[in-house]
Amino acid sequence: MPPRTTDSAPERRDDDHQRPDQETDAERSAGRSQGQAGLGTDAGADAGRGGGPAAEAGDGPHPAPAGGAEGGTGAGHDTDPVPGAAGTGGADSPDMEARAANGPDTGTGTGTGPDAESTPGTHDRPRAGNESAAEGEPDGHGGSGPRSENDADADERVAAVRRAADGGRRWRAAHLAGCAALLAVALTGGAVAFGGDGDGRAGAGVEAVSAAGALAPGVLARGDLDSGIGSLQKHLRAQPRDFGSWATLGTAYVEQARTKGDPSRYPQAERALKRSLELDPGNDQALAGRAALAAARHDFTGALKDADRALKQNPYNERALCTRIDALVELGRYEEAAEAARTADGRRPGVPVFTRYAYVKELRGDVRTARDVLERALEAADSPADIAYVATALGQLAWNQGEYETALDHYARALAADEDYLPALEGRARAQAASGDRAAAVEGLEQVVTRFPLPGPLVALGELYEDRGADGDRAKAGDQYALVDAWTSLARAGGVNADLDSAMAAADHGDKKEALRAARAEWNRRHSVHTADALAWALHVNGRDDEALPYARRATATGYRNAAFLYHRGIIERATGNEREARDHLKAALDLNPGFSPLGAREARTALKDLEGTR
């Protein structure tokens, strides 16, 4: 699945510098029951596992997901919102490991104004030449096509979960009344963040901007990005010197780029954030938004720098705290990432921090703690966005361990909360493929790539076509791989560093020399387990196995339980004559997750059979 980390994360109201347990006059007047204005953006990565599943691009588990972010997204990944902790924070806040046993604190939560930028206007296509920079009205969200009989079993599972959840949801709603929820996703390469309360439906009750320039509470937090952006654009035409709204608009564009898979939004975000900083240099909203933008573009060094600058202005800025964790994860600085997660937990405990902490634990091989943290976060989740995000992260974790039925149950819960949640739809398709239901998997991924044509699902669908081998399937697979190249070009035009995605996709399905060039370039920027794996595999497909082996070993050195990494290492060890180690790692890959990739798993089984025959 795409990596678990996020390209950016939800945070506290940007004009609010006090501790998380303190309420501003504006918050009181707005009414807690509506949730706080805000939006977290996750991209990056995970993400990863992203990315939350649908991470834009990053270091998600490969080869299954060629896109996503390390801790993206997941699910990068790459990764959304989060229940905050009422009256908690600071030095007295219990640590996350304790919460894994006792459940995360819940309560008032924290909203986050999307920090972003761009110029209001009436067109949102990319500009050419000296055309006006005014940004346009956003397009509507695409809907999914009709469901076929292949989805009948999955739909029954979702319906059953939805019925069972109704009573529990009413109890949680009463128990957590007044809680503002933000959900941080991760899809590396990503990342994904929705958040807030309400029913999570686009277009639900979006009102205009207040006189002070802040979005009405919960507008962006409910995921009403298009309407929220339209309101911001209208407000900024009347109040062009409102630096806070420029920052919010910029971050909203970052999130819109993620949700629409449209990197052309990033230049719009950059202009809006720049405008905010011109009006009020050093304001933490815009700095945190710029950090989120840098993470979305996979400039993790820049993201870390801007997150630190924002936190110097406001130590409780939630988006900056979370983006800082993401950046450290993506740079491969895992011990520092764990410390950053502990710091963020002390200041702003909630789902964005819990999910990042869980991913750091998973990367270190501590799957049990990662699962416990996510399960407690799910217990605390109340809004549909929160439930969909955390349940998807649990589904990704289960899939990564080869627990397909458990994964399908988690995805069913996510889709019961939000039937159009793309990371859950993608994750369900992958789990269906791994458990043998290829027809449903193909249909599911076809729906996903129609709406969200990112490298991870494109490569996964192409490999399913190749594995099926029906008439025309090879051509269909080639079409998917060609779309990866098209997305890469679009991403680069939007300022995104797409080398990791390019390296992983090209190594198996494209120009092998380009794969090696891209992998080397990415390794020169950051030393994560995902970049080590990408470079090892790119060296292997170019016949340079002796050079590849140290990187393959480094990719598995943290204890991260990833079947694709073990498979890559085993194949490289076989090529270098280390047959005993090759058998061990190929067997470990297939024991862990025998459906990690339709083509990779087939090659692993063939290689292991050959090695067993020569013993």
Task: Tell me, yes or no, whether 610 lies in a domain.
Answer: yes
In this predicted structure, what is the pLDDT of residue 226? Answer: 82
Which of 461, 373, 389 minimizes the C-alpha distance to 423? 389
Q: Which two tokens stand for residue 6?
A: 């996020």
What are the residues facing 82 on neighbouring strands?
182
Position 269 pLDDT exceeds 90:
yes
pLDDT band at 159 (very low <50, low <70, confident <90, very high): low
Please give the tally of structural domains in the chain.
1
Q: How many angstroms separate the CA atoms of 553 and 517, rounded?
A: 20
Q: Give the β-pairing of 134-135 and 119-120.
A: parallel
- CATH (domain of 595): 1.25.40.10
Task: Tell me, yes or no, whether 607 lies in a domain.
Answer: yes
Q: How many angstroms separate the CA atoms of 94 and 92, rounded?
A: 6
In this predicted structure, what is the pLDDT of residue 257? Answer: 86
Label residue 57 exposed, middle or buried (CB < 10 Å: 0-12, 13-18, 19+): buried
Residue 497 identity (one-letter amino acid)? N
Torsion sign over Cα 444, 446, 447, 449: positive
- Long-range CB contacts (< 8 A, 24+ apart) of 576-581? 576/545, 576/546, 576/549, 578/549, 579/611, 579/614
pLDDT band at 78 (very low <50, low <70, confident <90, very high): very low
Mean pLDDT value of segment 140-160: 51
- Other Cβ atoms closer than 10 A to 136: 19
At 324-378, the pLDDT tens digits run: 999 999 999 999 999 999 999 999 998 889 999 999 999 999 999 999 999 999 9
pLDDT band at 382 (very low <50, low <70, confident <90, very high): confident
* More reliable by pLDDT, 593 or 97: 593
In this predicted structure, what is the pLDDT of residue 163? Answer: 53
Q: Which residues contact 504 (CB under 8 A, 6 or more apart)?
A: 62, 63, 66, 455, 459, 515, 534, 537
In this predicted structure, what is the pLDDT of residue 500? Answer: 93
Position 504 pLDDT exceeds 60:
yes
In this predicted structure, what is the pLDDT of residue 161? Answer: 55
Task: Tell me, yes or no, whether 375 lies in a domain.
Answer: no
Mean pLDDT estimate for the chain? 73
At 201-247, the pLDDT tens digits run: 222 222 222 222 233 333 454 456 788 899 999 999 999 999 999 99
Q: Give the β-pairing of 181-185 and 134-135.
A: unpaired
Which range among 83-87, 475-479, 519-523 shows the weakest confidence by mean pLDDT? 83-87
Torsion sign over Cα 523, 253, 107, 419: negative
DSSP state of 222: T
Position 154 pLDDT exceeds 60:
yes
- Other Cβ atoms closer than 10 A to 436: 11
Task: Tell me, yes or no, whether 406 lies in a domain.
Answer: no
Position 436 pLDDT exceeds 90:
yes
Angle at 121 between CA 117 and CA 125, to 5 degrees: 80
Q: Which residues contact 572 (CB under 8 A, 6 or more apart)?
A: 536, 537, 540, 545, 548, 549, 552
Task: Tell me, yes or no, whether 584 lies in a domain.
Answer: yes
Query: Angle at which helices 334-347 and 351-363 pack, to 10 degrees?
Result: 160
In this predicted structure, what is the pLDDT of residue 594? Answer: 96
Q: How many angstroms separate the CA atoms of 274 and 296, rounded?
A: 16
The alpha carbons of the chain give a radius of gyration, in whole angstroms, of 22
For the chain, give the percent of residues with pLDDT over 90: 55
pLDDT band at 191 (very low <50, low <70, confident <90, very high): very low
What are the residues facing 183 on neighbouring strands?
81, 194
At 9-47, the pLDDT tens digits run: 333 333 333 333 333 333 333 333 333 333 233 333 333
Q: Which two tokens stand for residue 39?
A: 């939006």
Task: Tell me, yes or no, whether 540 lies in a domain.
Answer: yes
pLDDT band at 292 (very low <50, low <70, confident <90, very high): very high
Q: How many angstroms separate the CA atoms of 68 and 46, rounded?
A: 5
Task: Tell me, yes or no, whether 75 lies in a domain.
Answer: no
Which range among 175-184, 236-245, 424-433, 494-503 shows the weakest confidence by mean pLDDT? 175-184
- Other Cβ atoms closer than 10 A to 511: 14
pLDDT band at 613 (very low <50, low <70, confident <90, very high): confident
Domain hosting residue 568, numbered range: 501-614
Place of tokens 């739909």: 155
Q: How many angstroms separate the CA atoms of 574 and 197, rounded?
A: 52
* More reliable by pLDDT, 88 or 350: 350
Mean pLDDT value of segment 538-557: 98
**CA distances (Å), 117 to each of 193, 215, 234, in order?**
17, 14, 14
Three-state SS for 13?
coil
Angle at 157 between CA 155 and CA 161, to 5 degrees: 115
pLDDT band at 453 (very low <50, low <70, confident <90, very high): confident
Task: Tell me, yes or no, whether 588 lies in a domain.
Answer: yes
